[in-house]
Structure 1
Amino acid sequence: MTLNKKKQKTVGSSSNDNHNNNNKLVNEFSEKMCATYVKAAFDSLEKNDSLQVDSLTSKISLPFDHHESISLPTFNVVLRALISNVSRFDINKSSGLISAILDYKWLDVKQVDQSAYVVFIDLYSNFLSVLISSFPKYLHDVMSKLVKEFIKVSPQVVSASASLSLSLSPTKSSNPIINHHDVLAKIIKIIPTSVNTLPGILQKNFPHHLSSSQAELTNYVGNLLCITSYCSELQFTIWQLILECCIKLDVELQNELDYLRDEEIDELINGKEDGNDDDADDADLTLVGDVPKDECGNNSDDDEDDDDAAAENDDEDDLLMGEEYILDTVSSPEHIKSLVGKLDSIIASLLNGTEESFSLNELNSGNGVPLYNTLTSLFKTHILPTHFTKLIQFVHFQISQYQPELSDSFLVMLIDVAFNQMEILEKRLKAMQYLSSYIARARSLSKNQVVFVVSYLVTWLDKYVMERECEILDMESNKNSNMQTTRSTGGMERFKLFYAAFQALLYIFCFRYEMLRLDGNSTGSSKQRAGDSEWESDLDKFFQRAILAKFNPLKFCDESVVFIFAKIATKLNVCYCYSIIEHNKREKILQNNGKSVMPSAVGNFKQKQEFLDLEAYFPFDPLVLPSCKKIVAKNYVEWHNGDDEDDEFSGTTSCGGGLGDDEDDDNEISDSNDEDLSSDEEDEDEDI
Structure 2
Amino acid sequence: MSTSSKSTPTSILKRSKNLRGRLSELSQTPTKVRFKLPHSQKVRNILESYIQTKVTRDYGNLLCLIRDGELTDDDISALLKEATECISILTQELRLFVEVLLSVKWTDKKKSVVSEYQGFVVNLLSAHNYHARMVIDKLVQLFLPGPTEPDWPEGIPTDEDHAKLANVHTLLNVLITVIPMCKELLMTSATSQFPYYNKSTHVHEYYVHNLLWILEYQPKFRQDVLYLILSKLVILDVNAPREEIQKFAEDEDIFSMDDTKSVKSLKSSTTAFTQVNRLVVADTLDICLDKLFNYIIDECHDSSSGEVDWEKLKKLYHEIIPIFDKLILPTYDTHHVQYVMFLMCCLKSTVAEAFLNYLWKKVCNPNVPRVLRQAAVNYIASLLARANFITLALLKSVLTQIAEWIHMYISNQDSLECVNVDLRVHGVFYSICQGLFYIVAFRHKDFAGTKKGISFLGSLNMGKIITSRLNPLRVCQPAVVQNFAAITRQYQLAYCYTVIEHNARNTMPMIYQDEKGSVMMSNNVLDAYYPFDPYVLERSSKKIQPFYRDYHEELLKEEMEVDLNGKEPDVDDFLYNNDMSSPSNSKTMKFSYGTSPGFKFKG
**TM bucket normalised to smaller:** 0.7 to 0.9
Distance apart, 1:58 and its partner CA? 3.5
The residue aligned with 1:450 is 395
Find 1:347's aligned residue among 286, 289, 292: 289
Residues 495 and 251 of structure 1, relative CA distance in 2, 3 Å threshold: same
CA contact (8 A) 2:384 2:439 kept: yes
Aligned ranges for residues 600-639 of structure 1 at < 5 Å? Answer: 600=512, 606=520, 608=522, 612-614=525-527, 616-639=528-551
Residue in 1 aligned with 2:505?
586
- Structure 1 residues 507 and 365: alpha-carbon distance in aligned structure 2, compared to 1, 3 A threshold: closer
> What's 1:169 paired with?
155
Q: Return the alpha-carbon distance in structure 1 between the equivalents of residues 522 and 498 of structure 2.
A: 25
Query: Is residue 423–residue 430 contact of structure 2 (8 Å, CA) maintained in 1?
Result: no
Give 2:446's aligned amino acid. Answer: M
Determine the C-alpha separation between the residues in 2 that align with 1:498 and 1:100: 63
Written as runs of structure 1 = structure 2, the 5 A alignment for 1:35-50 is 36-42=38-44
Unaligned residue ranges in structure 2 (runs of 5+): 1-34, 258-268, 561-575, 577-584
Decide whether aligned partners of structure 1 residues 577 and 263 sit closer, same or farther in structure 2, where only a CA change above 3 A counts: same
The answer to whether the Cα contact below 8 Å between 2:533 and 2:597 also exists between their aligned partners in 1 is: yes
TM-fit CA distance, 1:606: 4.6
Aligned to 2:32: none
1:220 maps onto 2:207 in alignment: yes
User: Does the Cα contact within 8 Å between 1:72 and 1:120 map onto a contact in 2?
Assistant: yes
Letter in 2 for 1:637: R
- Residues of 2 paired with 1:131 and 1:168: CA distance? 39
Q: 1:153 to 1:171 in 2, by over 3 A?
A: farther
Contact 2:90–2:98 under 8 Å retained in 1:
no
Q: CA shift at 1:333, angstroms?
A: 10
Query: 1:206 touches 1:220 (CA, 8 Å); kept in 2?
Result: yes
- Who is 2:279 aligned against? 337
Q: Which secondary structure does the structure 1 equivalent of 2:277 belong to?
A: helix
- 1:449-479: CA deviations, max 9, x gaps? 11111111111112112222233xx127xxx
CA distance in 1, matches of 2:455, 2:183: 53
Partner of residue 233, structure 1: 220
1:670 to 590, 594, 597: 597
- Counterpart CA distance in 2 for 1:382 and 1:242 is 11
Count the aligned residue pairs. Answer: 525
Distance change >3 Å, CA 499–CA 365, structure 1 → 2: closer
- Equivalent residues of 1:414, 1:432 under 8 A apart: yes
Hey, what's the Cα distance between the residues in 1 that align with 2:476 and 2:370?
17
* In structure 2, C-alpha distance between the alignment counterparts of 1:329 and 1:221, rounded to whole Å: 25
CA–CA separation in structure 1 for the residues paired with 2:174 and 2:255: 49
Deviation at 1:643, TM superposition (A): 4.2
Identity %: 22
Q: Which residue of 2 aligns with 1:282?
A: none
Q: Distance in 2 between matches of 1:536 and 1:229?
A: 52
Residue 66 of structure 2 aligns to a residue whose secondary structure is helix
Matching residue's letter, 1:98: V
- Partners in 2 of 1:380 and 1:106 — Cα distance? 42
Q: Distance in 2 between matches of 1:190 and 1:420?
A: 46
- 5+ residue gaps, structure 1, are 1-32, 65-69, 110-115, 155-165, 275-326, 477-486, 522-527, 593-597, 656-663, 680-688
Go from structure 1 to structure 2 and tell me whether the alpha carbon gap of 1:269 and 1:441 turns closer, same or farther (over 3 Å shift). farther
SS of residue in 1 equivalent to 2:325: helix
Inter-partner Cα distance in structure 2 for 1:355 and 1:467: 46
Normalised TM-score (structure 2) = 0.76
Aligned match of 1:144 in 137, 149, 158?
Answer: 137
State which of 119, 122, 125 in structure 2 corresponds to 1:129.
122
SS in 2 for 1:253: coil
Residue of structure 2 in register with 1:386 after alignment = 331
Counterpart code for 1:36: P
Normalized per residue, the structure richer in helix is 1
Matches within 5 A, 1:245-644: 245-254=232-241, 264-268=247-251, 335-359=277-301, 364=309, 366-471=311-416, 474-475=417-418, 491=422, 493-516=424-447, 520-521=449-450, 534-535=453-454, 537-539=456-458, 542-588=461-507, 591=508, 600=512, 606=520, 608=522, 612-614=525-527, 616-643=528-555
- My pick for the range that moved more, 139-148 or 636-645, is 636-645
Distance 1:613 1:538, change over 3 A: closer
> Aligned equivalents of 1:332 and 1:137: distance in 2?
37
Q: Deviations over 1:539-588 (max 9, x none)?
A: 36611222222222222211100101111222222222222212221233
**Letter in structure 2 aligned against 1:231:** Q
Equivalent-residue separation in structure 2 for 1:670 and 1:126 (angstroms): 58
Q: What secondary structure is seen at the aligned counterpart in 2 of 1:227?
A: helix
1: CA distance between counterparts of 2:92 and 2:469?
82
Contact (CA 8 Å) 1:168, 1:218: kept in 2 or not?
no
Change (3 A) 1:586 1:235: same
CA shift, 1:340, in A, is: 0.8
What's the offset of the Cα at 1:350? Answer: 0.9
Q: CA, structure 1 residues 540+348, in 2 after alignment: closer, same or farther (shift >3 Å)?
A: same
Map of 1:178 onto structure 2:
164
- Tell me which moved more, 624-633 or 174-183: 174-183
Corresponding position: 1:59 with 2:47: no
Instruction: Name the amino acid aligned to 1:267.
Output: E
Is the deviation greater in 170-179 or in 414-423?
Answer: 170-179
The answer to whether the Cα contact below 8 Å between 1:86 and 1:131 also exists between their aligned partners in 2 is no
How is 1:206-217 mapped onto 2 (pairs within 5 angstroms)?
A: 206-210=194-198, 212-217=199-204
CA apart distance, 1:506 = 1.0
Q: What is the letter of the counterpart of residue 577 of structure 1?
A: C
Query: Quick check: 2:328–2:338 contact (8 Å CA) kept in 1?
Result: yes
Shift of 1:169: 0.8
Distance 1:34 1:576 in 2: 101
- Equivalent position to 1:652, from 572, 584, 587: 587
SS of the aligned residue for 1:206 comes to coil
